[in-house]
Amino acid sequence: MPRLSQTLLPLAAALLIAAPAGAQMAQTPDHTAPEKIAPDLAEKAVPQSKGQVQLSFAPVVKRAAPSVVNVYASHVETRSSSRSAMDEFMRRFFGEGSGRGRGGTPGERAQKSLGSGVIVDESGLVITNNHVIDNMNEVRVALADRREFEASIVLRDPRTDLAVIKIKSPTGGLVAMPFGDSESLEVGDFVLAIGNPFGVGQTVTQGIVSALARTQVGSSDYQFFIQTDAAINPGNSGGALVDLKGQLVGINTAIFSQSGGSHGIGFAIPASMVRAVVETAKGGATAVRRPWLGARVQNVTPDIAESMGLDHPTGVLVASLQAKSPAEEAGLKRGDLILTVDGKTVDDPEAFGYRFALKGLSGTTKFGILRGTGRTTVAVKLGPAPETRPRDTLKVRTRSPFMGATLVNTSPAVAEEIQMDLPAEGVAVSGVDENSIAARAGLQKGDIIVAINGLPIATTKDLERVTRNSLNMWEVSINRGGEVLTSVFGG
């Protein structure tokens, strides 16, 4: 890192020059009485003893480091020597080769991933990023003392980019890191990032909280990140952001970089969200369920803020409501401005979604709203989105534009999970395999299949029936965000 060295060397030289000057000043007559020094300057006085100069983060690191682990994940796939149905379909519809390895030689294809994790329970539960283990079927964990164990995947939560894994048959004691209070963090607080950058081994970097509630990062559905200038690099994903008590205040998850290295802009998922995912795993669930509102909210523009008598944009505007939803039953109305969730200010839909998601599945939460020129409070009942009809999940494996897609019947629960604005009758795409026929055909998570070859599609059974036989031509109509798109695929 030549640039880094060039930055630090002048700073070190400046400190060496400044130290004797400070010592000389201490020996000169005091022309300013201590009581006349401004309090804020007095608090920033030059260190007066060797002990003060030698202050260190080492005690914090000793407390926290044993809880941070390295996570090694891999996916081994055996490739068939025979031409597959997908190979043939890819050739016919997209003009591609067989998809086998160079020279057509069958064998094993391995994907590998390296990241970090944090032990959060002495039974062996480890929290990491979902993208570290995504699509992986083998996971190993290496402790700070270099012991290694196999681990099983307990829970994945792609919406927060978090996952919980469990160390199998650990020997000896495991040190769990206690949770800190991420809600009490302030910009300027010291933090440490601990992880395994670039696979070099456990590494500690130090910085401050640069910003809070960052909502335009784009690495998960719940945008509400802690920003830090503590160096975070590839391999740090899933590692710990630690306060000066040695407590977990965040899970490092993303960096802003144009080169792949740290530019001093890193992001961590707050401990409040991490704790909710861990508690779900401890309760035995394999998926995280969150409260359902049944309303769509949108940003408040400067024009909207002015029309409502606000001096600046804040809160979220209720754009639409679903019948018989908690939002409707609470008395929310289209055009209401939600300003707070249980007293905590929300400034955009991402912050609102984060605050609401943390409320659990029982009891009520209170929204502070502005309706017209008056302010009031409404109590919203907390509970999961209902499954109003069976999903009848369908994984399409026949040769068609849907090959590699997972489809389900829509319901409020499905709409909540795959982030559709509001559920519509029909069949929704809940997932698309990477590099699959469906992905290349342009299908996206959240698409609703309207018709195939002119035939209306209301259920997954309808879709299965239509795609049962191979055809030379497919006309597919989908509803994407309220707009119906039609595409034709042919051989």
Q: Which of 93-102, 202-211, 266-275, 433-442 has the lowest mean pLDDT?
A: 93-102
pLDDT at 118 over 80: yes
For the entire predicted model, the pTM comes to: 0.72
pLDDT at 120 over 90: yes
Better-scored residue on pLDDT, 107 or 227? 227
- In this prediction, residue 17 carries a pLDDT of 26
- In this prediction, residue 341 carries a pLDDT of 94
Taking only the tens place, the pLDDT of each residue in 369-410 is 999 888 999 999 999 988 888 889 999 887 888 989 999 998
- In this prediction, residue 38 carries a pLDDT of 46
- In this prediction, residue 421 carries a pLDDT of 64
- In this prediction, residue 101 carries a pLDDT of 42
For the chain, give percent helix, strand, coil, nearest 5. Answer: 25, 30, 45
Phi-psi region of 124 (alpha: psi -120 to 50; beta: other; left: phi over 0): left
Task: Give the C-alpha distances (Å, rounded to integers) separating 28 from 19, 20, 31, 377.
Answer: 15, 13, 9, 64
The tokens describing 407, both together, are 């489809």
Taking only the tens place, the pLDDT of each residue in 150-203 is 999 999 988 888 999 999 988 778 999 999 998 888 898 999 999 888 777 788
- Longest Cα–Cα distance of the chain, Å, equals 97
300, 345 Cβ separation under 8 angstroms: no
Better-scored residue on pLDDT, 263 or 354? 354
The tokens describing 44, both together, are 């920033």
- In this prediction, residue 158 carries a pLDDT of 86
Residue 475 β-bridge partners: 488
pLDDT at 435 over 80: yes
pLDDT band at 14 (very low <50, low <70, confident <90, very high): very low
- In this prediction, residue 399 carries a pLDDT of 82
Compute the distance between CA of residue 162 and CA of residue 340 in angstroms, rounded to an integer. 26
Position of tokens 């009848």?
392
- In this prediction, residue 337 carries a pLDDT of 94
pLDDT band at 126 (very low <50, low <70, confident <90, very high): very high
pLDDT at 426 over 50: yes
- In this prediction, residue 240 carries a pLDDT of 92
Residues annotated catalytic, as ranges:
131, 161, 237
- In this prediction, residue 104 carries a pLDDT of 45
Better-scored residue on pLDDT, 219 or 471? 471
pLDDT band at 215 (very low <50, low <70, confident <90, very high): low
| Amino acid identity, position 5 | S
Please provide the CATH number assigned to the domain covering 182-282: 2.40.10.10
Nearest 5 degrees, angle CA 133-CA 100-CA 402? 70
Better-scored residue on pLDDT, 66 or 417? 66
- In this prediction, residue 310 carries a pLDDT of 86
| Same topology between domain 66-80+106-167 and domain 394-490 | no
> Buried b / exposed e across 243-261, counting CB within 10 Å, b at 16+?
beebbbbbbbbbbeeeeee
pLDDT at 98 over 50: no
Q: Is 305 exposed, middle or buried (0-12, 13-18, 19+ CB in 10 A)?
A: middle
Helix count and strand count (H, E) for the chain: 13, 25
Q: Which range in 19-23, 42-46, 240-244 is most confidently predicted, on average pLDDT?
A: 240-244
Superfamily of domain 394-490: PDZ domain (2.30.42.10)
Better-scored residue on pLDDT, 82 or 218? 218
Q: Which fold has domain 66-80+106-167?
A: Thrombin, subunit H (2.40.10)
- In this prediction, residue 237 carries a pLDDT of 87
Phi (first) and psi of residue 280, to 5 degrees: -60, -45
pLDDT at 24 over 70: no
Taking only the tens place, the pLDDT of each residue in 227-251 is 888 888 778 889 999 999 999 999 9
Q: How confident is the model over 51-65, as a mean pLDDT?
A: 84
Query: Yes or no: is domain 295-381 CATH 2.30.42.10?
Result: yes
Q: How confident is the model over 439-454, as a mean pLDDT?
A: 89
Q: Where are the beta strands (DSSP E) in 98-146?
A: 108-119, 125-129, 138-142
- Hey, where are the domains in the chain? 66-80+106-167, 182-282, 295-381, 394-490
pLDDT above 90 as % of the chain: 33
Average pLDDT over the chain reads: 79
The tokens describing 200, both together, are 């070099």
pLDDT at 450 over 60: yes
Helix axes 271-282, 349-357, angle to 10 degrees: 40
Better-scored residue on pLDDT, 231 or 7? 231
Dihedral, CA of residue 14, residue 17, residue 23 and residue 26, to nearest 10: -70
Taking only the tens place, the pLDDT of each residue in 279-335 is 999 988 888 888 999 898 999 999 988 888 888 889 999 998 888 899 999 999 999
Residue 337 β-bridge partners: 317, 370
Compute the distance between CA of residue 487 and CA of residue 478 in angstroms, rounded to an integer. 9
- In this prediction, residue 387 carries a pLDDT of 85
